Amino acid sequence: MAGESTELYSDWRVWHGFQINRILNYKAFEQENYMNKPKIAFFDTRPYDREFFDISNRDFGFEIKYFSPHLTIDTAAMASGFDAVCAFVNDKLTSGVLDILESSSTKLIALRCAGYNNVDLLAAYGKIHVVRVPSYSPHAIAEHTVALMLSLNRKIHKAYARTRDSNFTLNGLLGFDMYGKTAGVIGTGQIGKIVAAILSGFGMKVLAFDPFPDAAFAGEKNIRYTDIDTLLSSSDIITLHSPLTPENKHLINDRTIAAMKRGVMIINTGRGKLIDTKALINGLKSGVIGYAGLDVYEEESEYFFEDLSNSVMNDDVLARLLTFPNVLVTSHQAFFTSDALTNIANTTLNNIKTYFDTDKCPNEICYQCDITPCRKNITGKCF
């Protein structure tokens, strides 16, 4: 081979010219490739987002600009010149924000979450496509749900603080056996099903309510579908796993709380607005609600994911909630496992690649499902 090269490029000037051309061609190829890659404006960035997306992006090579602020009407202009916007649960994709994004040439909104109640889908329709991560680890959320139940029941959060202070007493730490009690699961999609299966494994009687019941699943896991009223009045623990829709906003309210068993435990790892928090506080004060485990809160966008330990709490409802000894709040951390973050980063970047490579994406959110035939089913895209 070496002999061949020497023979071929015996004139060093020819060889030199060939090498320069090769370098120039490679640079042009690299530049063209780089320039064709969509640029991503990434909002509400936390250090762990960056860590997991940077690792995943080694396989995609996108140019990602990480912005700390939430996406709001005041920050939307930061996305100018970017092809895609990557947003999370507390970014506000209102019609005003979507107008700004459209006028600054954003073609895709890539949600790095499953829920999309923070997107005005009607306003996005016909303007900007929206994709999401429909599933990244339903186990992560289901397991956190059960962690909240166990912690509240056996007062693990209090026991931890006590023993750290060399207080080894048991007064006030009394719990109950979950075995043999009744759990009510509202919403039996991916997450609700896993929760139901875990609780069934504990030996609980599991009731479920869902507008689209899965009879095969219920038979297999010994779960009984029922109407919402029966679930509310029979359950010792009620756990929420439905998406937030206009119909089920404040599903847990004064009326539904009045129908519950005295001392019931309510767990919400779904969305904050599924519960009317003022009604929850009334229920806690009256003793109808014995425990509340909340990973989400109606007005969480101002507070969750922030360190406000040196600030004055201006939300009187949240402040009141935090005074109850039988309330455990975590700040939207149910999804927060390394497995879930890896899946979120991989699926989000793959959604962006698929959309820009093929002009469509199977994970696009379908807005017009009441129009038949559904255009997405025919063309693969909503508009």
| Nearest distance, CB of residue 356 and ligand NAI, angstroms | 26
CB-based contact 297:272 (threshold 8 Å): yes
Residue closer to ligand NAI, measured from CB, 106 or 351 = 351
* Cβ atoms < 10 Å from Cβ of 37: 16
Asked if residue 295 binds ligand NAI (CB under 6 A), the reply is yes
Size of the site for ligand NAI (CB under 6 A): 30
| 139 tagged catalytic | no
Which member of 232, 288, 296, 327 binds ligand NAI (CB under 6 A)?
A: 296
R_g of the chain, CA atoms, integer Å: 26
| Nearest distance, CB of residue 208 and ligand NAI, angstroms | 9
Asked if residue 40 binds ligand NAI (CB under 6 A), the reply is no
Q: Which two tokens stand for residue 225?
A: 């579908």
Amino acid at 309: S
Please report which residue ranges of 46-94 form alpha helices under DSSP H: 47-57
Q: Which two tokens stand for residue 176?
A: 């109950």
Asked if residue 211 binds ligand NAI (CB under 6 A), the reply is yes
Residue closer to ligand NAI, measured from CB, 196 or 284 = 196
Closest CA to 292 of 268, 318, 316: 268
Q: Compute the distance between CA of residue 223 and CA of residue 69 in angstroms, rounded to an integer.
A: 43
| 271 tagged catalytic | yes
Q: Write out the binding residues for ligand NAI, residues 228-257 only, by CB under 6 A.
A: 241-245, 247-248
Asked if residue 111 binds ligand NAI (CB under 6 A), the reply is no
Q: Compute the distance between CA of residue 317 and CA of residue 382 in angstroms, rounded to an integer.
A: 40
| Nearest distance, CB of residue 110 and ligand NAI, angstroms | 16
Asked if residue 108 binds ligand NAI (CB under 6 A), the reply is no
Which member of 166, 212, 309, 378 binds ligand NAI (CB under 6 A)?
A: 212
Asked if residue 192 binds ligand NAI (CB under 6 A), the reply is yes
Asked if residue 334 binds ligand NAI (CB under 6 A), the reply is yes
- In the bound state, the residue with its beta carbon closest to ligand NAI is 189
Angstrom CA distances, 146 to 18, 55, 119, stand at 66, 30, 29
| 241 tagged catalytic | no
Closest CA to 290 of 270, 274, 266, 259: 266
Q: Compute the distance between CA of residue 287 and CA of residue 45 in angstroms, rounded to an integer.
A: 40
**Catalytic residue, candidates 70, 144, 241, 332:** 332
Asked if residue 106 binds ligand NAI (CB under 6 A), the reply is no
The b/e string for 107-126 (b: 16+ C-beta within 10 A; e otherwise) is bbbbbbbbebebbebebbee
Q: Compute the distance between CA of residue 224 and CA of residue 215 in angstroms, rounded to an integer.
A: 9
Q: Write out the binding residues for ligand NAI, residues 254-293 only, by CB under 6 A.
A: 269-271
Residue closer to ligand NAI, measured from CB, 9 or 336 = 336
Binding site for ligand NAI (CB under 6 A): 114-115, 138, 141, 186-192, 209-212, 241-245, 247-248, 269-271, 295-296, 332, 334-335
The set of catalytic residues is 271, 300, 332
